Structure 1
Amino acid sequence: MRKALFLVSILSSSCFYSQNFGAINEILEKIENKYKKMTDASDYTINNKKFVLLEEFSDHSERHILEFGADDKITLIELIDDKATGQTYSNIFSGDFMRKRNAISVRANYLEGKQIASPIIYNLYLMNANNMWYLKDINNSKRWIENNKLIKKK
C-alpha cells in the first residue's frame, strides 16, 4: 500500500512539474530578450586590441593579457603575483586565432619563441553589454574585458 501511494505521488508530482516547464521557458525567453547581449559583432574589429582576465587565488593572483595582432596572430601574457614573496613571474605565449562572427578560437603554441607540446586553447565568444566589449570563455564562463575599459579616465 505504501509503495503504491509513493508511486502515485511521484507520478502526480512529475506531471505537475512538467506543466510548469513551458511557463519557465517563456519567462527565460523574456529575460534573454530583455537583457540580450549577444549581438552580431561582424563589424567590430579585434585586431590590435587587448583583453584582460584577472583571477584571485588564496596564494597568488593572475593577470592574463590577450593581444590580437593584425594578421591573425596573438600574444598571451601571463603574469603571476605570488602573495607570500611579493614576486611577479611572467610567461609570454604566442600563436594564432580564428574568428567567425562572434566566435573566436585562440591557440597559443609557443612559449617565449619555443614550441610547446600541449598548446593553450581558448574558445571565446565576443559579447557586448552597455557599450563594453568583452570575451566570454565558452568552457568556464570567465570574462576577458577590453583593456581600454579598465583604464580610469581622469
Structure 2
Amino acid sequence: MAVRLQREPFDAGAEAARLTQGREEVGAVVTFTGLCRRGADSGAPLTALTLECYPEMAEQELARIEAEARARWPLADALVIHRHGRIRPGEPIVFVATLSAHRAAAFEAAQFLMDYLKTSAPFWKQEETEEGTSWVAAKAVDDDAARRWDEG
C-alpha cells in the first residue's frame, strides 16, 4: 500500500529521495507538502491543530483515493502520507508524491489526490488558539476543487 497514516512528523525530502531511488523510467516527480499554518480560520493565532480519525477507516479511504489516481493516470508510483493527532504550526500534515514518465500526469494526479484528500479523507479538525478550541467546518471551495475531477 502506498499510503501511510501516522502521528509523527515526516521528512518530505527523505520520502521523495527514497521513492525516486533507482527509478530511471521516471521523468517527472511532483511532491506537495501541506503544513500546519499559524493562522486559524477564526483569525486568531493557532497554537495547534488536532486531526482526529478512525485509523482503519482513514487508511482505507486514503488507499481508495490513491488507487483511483493510479487508475486515472499512468503513474510509476505514488505515495500519500497523512498525519493525525496534535500538530503544531510549521509541522507537516500531509505529503503527496506522484511519479510518472511525463510531467502532465504527475501534476494532475498530485492535484487530484490533494483535492480528494481535502474533501473525502475522514478527518475531523479542531483548531486550538489561546481563546480555546473550535471544530473546522468543510469549505465549499474545497468541494468545488474536487468536483472538477468528476467524470461525466
Q: Which structure has more helix as a fraction of its residues?
A: 2
User: Relative to total residues, which structure has the larger strand share, 1 or 2?
Assistant: 1
Higher relative contact order (CA closer than 8 Å, sequence separation 6+): 2
**TM over 0.5, yes or no?**
no
Q: TM-score, normalised by structure 1?
A: 0.23
